[in-house]
Amino acid sequence: MLTTIALLCIAGFIASFVDSIAGGGGLISVPAFMLAGLPPHMVLGTNKFSATAGSFTSSLQFIKSGKSNFKLLKYLIPFTLLGSMLGVKAVLNIDQKYLNTLVLILIMFIGIYTLFSKSLGLEDKFKGLTKINVLCGIILAFSLGFYDGFFGPGTGSFLVFGFINVFGFNFVTSSANSKILNFISNITALILFAISGKINYMIGLPVAVSMIIGAKLGTTVALNNGSRLIKPIFVTMSLAVALKMLIVIF
């Protein structure tokens, strides 16, 4: 048991380190929990518990750095919360298999587009808030809050890509703002998992600690090294999510 927890902590640290920079940490942590022999519903709940601790740590660090735009986030957070709540409720009534192909196509597009767009996200082109970009941001926040509560894979990548294209943020600022929205959708789903008794705290707590450490280190690396480091990791994780989903489908 101790060996299993130790391996899960290592996986959690790596997952949180990567996730705090560019998203996609669930690619590492969810399979690790599955290999540990937890039932599927406990895997999702326990992973959400540990990952939320990591995303909270990363969010705080980005906030302290001044990279988070709360003039914008105050409009987006309520819609992320609402979307996540509706997504969790919808997951019980809608067959997820119809989403697999759509999400696969979208996230492959994001990864490939970012790979071949040399300047995307490397410079901050934000020129202020307008009614149009705030409205687009609200739609983005609600849609991805719903998606994260309902399904999940690639949420961080979609958020980062959305912030870059809607507001002109660079990768660092996009990661800072997307991490906060991702935390809001995570904590909403976590509460529902906890109420349903789908969390293994004996395993989740030590992994949560390792994820906090990984998130702190990953966020520091992102802030110190900037967009030129985040971009290749973002592309790698986007394509990795797509590859995983392709394997699941076929």
pLDDT value, residue 95:
60
Tell how far CA 81 is from the center of its chain: 14
DSSP letter assigned to residue 250: -
Q: Using alpha carbons only, give the angle 121, 214, 46 rounded to the nearest 5 degrees.
A: 105
Closest by alpha carbon to 5, among 189, 200, 190, 186?
200
So where are the chain's domains?
2-249
Question: d(Cα 19, Cα 35) in Å, to the nearest integer?
Answer: 20
Report the pLDDT averaged over residues 158-179.
91
Which residues, in sequence order, are CB contacts of 84 under 8 Å at separation 6+?
145, 146, 148, 149, 184, 185, 188, 189
DSSP letter assigned to residue 118: T
Question: d(Cα 7, Cα 208) in Å, to the nearest integer?
Answer: 13
pLDDT above 80: residue 3: yes
The size of the chain, in residues, is 250
pLDDT value, residue 98:
62
Question: Which of 26-30, 48-52, 206-210 is least confident?
Answer: 26-30
Mean pLDDT of the chain: 85
The 10s digit of each residue's pLDDT in 215-228 is 999 999 988 887 77
pTM recorded for the entire structure: 0.82
